[in-house]
Amino acid sequence: MTIAVVGVGLIGGSLAITLKENGFAGRVIGVDQSAANIDKAIRRRLIDEGLPLADALRQAGLVVLATPVDAMARLLPETLGLITPEQVVIDVGSTKGQLLEAVKAHPNRGRYVATHPMAGTEFSGPEAAVPNLFDHKCAVLVDVKDSDADALELVKRMYAGIPMQLVELERDAHDLHSAYVSHISHISSFALALTVLEKERDEARIFELASGGFSSTVRLAKSSPDMWVPIFRQNRDYVLDVLDEHINQLARFRSLLIKKDFEAFYQLIEQANDIKRILK
């Protein structure tokens, strides 16, 4: 099968090379507004060739939208308008509410499957793409009742073959969950980086000391604003809810420190340790 990947960055490029390597894709066409990205993607063998969107759509059985989510809101209706009833379109974006709203009445809505392969790194661009990024991670399929059965079948087969674990969610549940397990981690990490950078004006030394713990909590602070600002814009309401909760939790620790109530502080850490149940 020929696949068109629109946006050959970290996610699109990683999916392209993965599907090429496991045989699901016979040929991968890249579409990107940056000619430099197309060049890099070809040289890194992520894609077989680069074409304009309309040309790519004429040849692809499956179209993968992998741009930042603001561009998707424009590209998805346009793409659905250009395809035939045999073709299938997916997106791989991190928020779904606005995107699904934008195409809910589209005559080709059934050919579209909303997906979110939950994997990534703090890097971006085709140079960050790697073949095993998605292995054994979770792919969320959103509002599957609105997709044609054959389109859904194809997409499930694609993700299951990587292999990824499949989960189906409604759009609101997906966007809330994304806020919890992904978007808030990024804001927390951005804020932690700023906290330390603020101090660094006085104290250059601090960075010689940055140990493993700091590196891992602050890793996501390297993430690209071009990818993340559109996500925060689209998922603003849920992100605000979760951010309020996160600030509340930090305020609990603060209040216990002020009161020097280290017994309760101990219990709070024990509660947090409960995360071991879930993440090994």
Note whether 160 binds its own copies by CB under 8 A: no
Answer for which of 55, 137, 148, 170 binds its own copies (CB under 8 A) is 137
Distance of CA 39 to the CA centre of its chain: 23
Q: Which of residues 214-273 bind its own copies (CB under 8 A)?
A: 214-225, 228-229, 232-233, 236, 239-240, 242-247, 249-254, 257-258, 260, 262, 265-266, 268-273
Angstrom distances, CA of residue 44 to CA of 4, 254, 278: 17, 49, 36
Question: Residue 94 CB, nearest distance to its own copies (Å)?
Answer: 10
Cα dihedral across residues 43, 44, 47, 53: positive or negative: negative
54 vs 210, beta carbon nearer its own copies: 210
Q: Which of residues 33-92 bind its own copies (CB under 8 A)?
A: none
Question: Residue 268 CB, nearest distance to its own copies (Å)?
Answer: 7
Q: Which of residues 206-225 bind its own copies (CB under 8 A)?
A: 206-225
42: β partners = none
- Dist. CA 238–CA 232, nearest whole Å: 9
Note whether 192 binds its own copies by CB under 8 A: yes
Note whether 4 binds its own copies by CB under 8 A: no
Return the H-helix or E-strand segment holding 251.
Answer: helix 236-259
Note whether 275 binds its own copies by CB under 8 A: yes
Answer for which of 11, 17, 69, 119 binds its own copies (CB under 8 A) is 119
52 vs 212, beta carbon nearer its own copies: 212
SS (H, E, C) 81-119: HHCCCCCEEEECCCCCHHHHHHCCCCCCHHHEEEEEEEC
Question: Residue 103 CB, nearest distance to its own copies (Å)?
Answer: 23
40 vs 174, beta carbon nearer its own copies: 174
- Dist. CA 45–CA 127, nearest whole Å: 11
DSSP assignment of 22-52 equals: TTS-SEEEEE-S-HHHHHHHHHTTS-SEE--
